[in-house]
């Protein structure tokens, strides 16, 4: 966090306008107190399941929000600044499970707090799972350390190239919702040819027998033309 703060050269005034959205792995009391002391705002999931169960027993009113319920309680510890604490309960395999969330924000409804929390970066989904499944990071291993490090760096490069391709070629197309695994399997494996004239790409040809050929051709032409 200090590295991020230093990289962006955040002044105290800027920190007061910065919100950290943290999942359960980072939402310890110590981390939250540190961020609040630095004048950041937070929307964070608490780290303790046992505390979530205890807090749920203190909730006097549960508000239904689709597949789950939300209640609000008094924070059990002093975070150094005023915060609001929400408890969520949902059914899992026939029993209620609970989690809790801490925030310094002022939003008009309880539901918006969890919706705002759900808008965090989600790198564990967008990058880690995509790299493990789509780029086979979890199953490919090199015996020597330098070989494995090289493979990880190549995977990072492939991740960035695919992310660039997804954003610039597949956005607003029928393939916009595809992850890396399906992009590689269903799109980039499509047979075709690139036709060059004097080292300049003039035409893309795809096998018309492939299901996605027509729509993919539009995406590739847009990507290559930089539109």
The 3-class secondary structure across 62-124, one letter per residue, is CEEECCEEEEEECCCCCCCCCCEEEEEEEEECCEEEEEEEEECCCCCCHHHHHHHHCCCCCHH
Q: Does 121 score more than 60 pLDDT?
A: no
The pLDDT assigned to 126 comes to 54
The pLDDT assigned to 70 comes to 95
| Rounded mean pLDDT, 14-31 | 86
| Confidence band, pLDDT 50/70/90 cuts, at residue 131 | low
| Confidence band, pLDDT 50/70/90 cuts, at residue 158 | confident
Q: Which residues contact 3 (CB under 8 A, 6 or more apart)?
A: none
The pLDDT assigned to 134 comes to 65
The pLDDT assigned to 142 comes to 75
The pLDDT assigned to 44 comes to 92
For residue range 53-98, list pLDDT tens digits in order.
999 999 999 999 888 999 999 999 999 999 999 999 999 888 999 9
The pLDDT assigned to 84 comes to 95
| Rounded mean pLDDT, 200-222 | 89
Q: Which residues contact 147 (CB under 8 A, 6 or more apart)?
A: none
């Amino acid at each position: 966090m200090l590295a991020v703060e230093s990289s962006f050269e955040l002044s105290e005034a800027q920190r007061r306008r910065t919100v950290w959205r943290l999942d359960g792995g980072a939402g310890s009391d110590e981390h939250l107190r540190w961020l609040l002391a630095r004048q950041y705002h937070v929307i964070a999931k608490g780290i303790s399941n046992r505390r979530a169960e205890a807090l749920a027993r203190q909730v006097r009113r549960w508000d239904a929000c689709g597949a789950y319920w939300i209640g609000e309680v008094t924070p059990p510890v002093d975070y150094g600044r005023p915060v609001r604490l929400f408890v969520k309960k949902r059914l899992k395999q026939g029993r209620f499970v609970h989690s809790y969330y801490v925030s310094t924000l002022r939003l008009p409804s309880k539901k918006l707090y969890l919706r705002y929390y759900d808008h965090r970066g989600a790198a564990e989904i967008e990058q880690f799972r995509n790299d493990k499944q789509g780029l086979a990071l979890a199953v490919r291993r090199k015996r020597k350390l330098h070989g494995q490090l090289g493979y990880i760096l190549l995977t990072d490069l492939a991740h960035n190239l695919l992310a660039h391709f997804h954003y610039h070629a597949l956005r607003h197309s029928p393939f916009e919702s595809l992850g890396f695994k399906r992009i590689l399997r269903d799109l980039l494996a499509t047979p075709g040819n690139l036709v060059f004239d004097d080292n300049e790409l003039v035409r893309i040809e795809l096998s018309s027998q492939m299901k996605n050929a027509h729509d993919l051709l539009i995406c590739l032409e847009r990507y290559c033309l930089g539109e």
